[in-house]
Amino acid sequence: MKTSIKHNNKVFITDLSEPIDISIAIRNGDENLSAWYVGVPEISPVIDGDFVGSVKKGASVNFNSIKFNPHAHGTHTECLGHITETSYSVNQLLKQYFFTARLISLAPENKDDDKVITRSQLKKALENVETEALIIRTLPNEENKKQRHYSHTNPPYLSGPAAEFIREKGIKHLLVDLPSVDKERDEGRLVAHKAFWDVEGNPRLDATITEFVFVPDQVIDGNYLLNLQTAAFENDAAPSRPLLYKILTHESNH
C-alpha cells in the first residue's frame, strides 16, 4: 500500500509493505559470519538442574540464552562511543530513524596488499548527490559475505580521505558491507572512524556507522528511504536491521 512520509520539507511516496532488508541475522554456530577473533555466536537452551529450556527436550517453552558480540557477529550500528574515552550509547544518540539514502556499488582499488575505497571513487560516485545516509556495496558482491569468517583476512576498508569526504558531504549515516570502515590491523589508528566522526575536531554525536550489511544484487544503485532501527542496548553499538524503501515519487512541502 502506498504511503506518504513527510521528511525535511519533502513528501515521499513509498510502499511500506515492501521493505528491502539489508541486515544479516545472527544465528547459532559456524554458519554465522564472524570477525575480530572472537569465535561464533552461541544460542543454546538454559540448563538449570533437570530443566532444559527446549520443547524438544520436554520443556513447555523454548528458553534460549544468546552469547554474541555486536561488532563481530552481524549487522550493527555504532556511534562515536566506539572509539572515545567518554562513554556514549547508540541507543541514546540515535533518535531519528528515517533518512534519505543513496546506494552505490564500488570495487575497492588495489593499494599494495590492501583493497581500499578511495576518496576519488566516492567523489565520482557522489557527484551532485545530496543524501543523509550512504550505503556502500563492495564488488564482487558474493553471497558468502553472510557467512564469511573475516578474522586474519585483511578485508577491504575506507581510506581516511574517503571517510573525510563523506563527512564533508554532510552524510550522517554510513552503511557498509564490511566488518569495519578501517583496516583490520592498523595499530589502533582508526583513521576512517576518526575522520567520519571528526573526533579530533567537532565530534558528530548524531552520526552513525553501520557495518556488516548485505545488499542483494537485484537491488539497484540509486536513492531510497532508509529506516535504521537498533536493538535497545545501552552500548556503543547494537544489533540493527536497516530497511530500504523504494521512492516512488516525492515533492517539496513548503
pLDDT of res. 183: 98
Whose cell is 554474541? That residue is 68
Q: How confident is the model at residue 252 (pLDDT cuts 50, 70, 90)?
A: low
> What's the confidence (pLDDT) of residue 5?
86
Cα 209 from Cα 77, distance rounded (Å): 6
Using left for φ > 0, alpha for ψ between -120 and 50, and beta otherwise, residue 49 falls in left
Q: What pLDDT is recorded for position 1? A: 72
Q: Which amino acid is at 28?
A: N
User: Rounded mean pLDDT of 88-116?
Assistant: 97
73-94 pLDDT, tens digit per residue, is 999 999 999 999 999 999 999 9
Of 10 and 51, the structure prediction assigns the larger pLDDT to 51
Task: Return mean pLDDT, the chain.
Answer: 96
- Boundaries of every domain in the chain: 2-27+70-252
pTM: 0.96
At 177-225, the pLDDT tens digits run 999 999 999 999 999 999 999 999 999 999 999 999 999 999 999 999 9
CA dist 10 to 5, 17, 213, Å?
8, 21, 27
Each residue of 127-166: pLDDT tens digit? 999 999 999 999 999 999 999 999 999 999 999 999 999 9
For residues 114 and 254, give the distance between their C-alpha atoms in angstroms, rounded to a whole number. 48
Three-state DSSP state, 137: strand
Residue 254 has pLDDT above 60, yes or no: no
CATH topology assigned to domain 2-27+70-252: Glucose Oxidase; domain 1 (3.50.30)
| Cβ neighbours of residue 169 closer than 8 Å, sequence gap 6 or more | 126, 129, 130, 131, 134
pLDDT of residue 168: 97
Grid look-up 572509539 returns 83
Whether residue 9 has pLDDT greater than 90: no
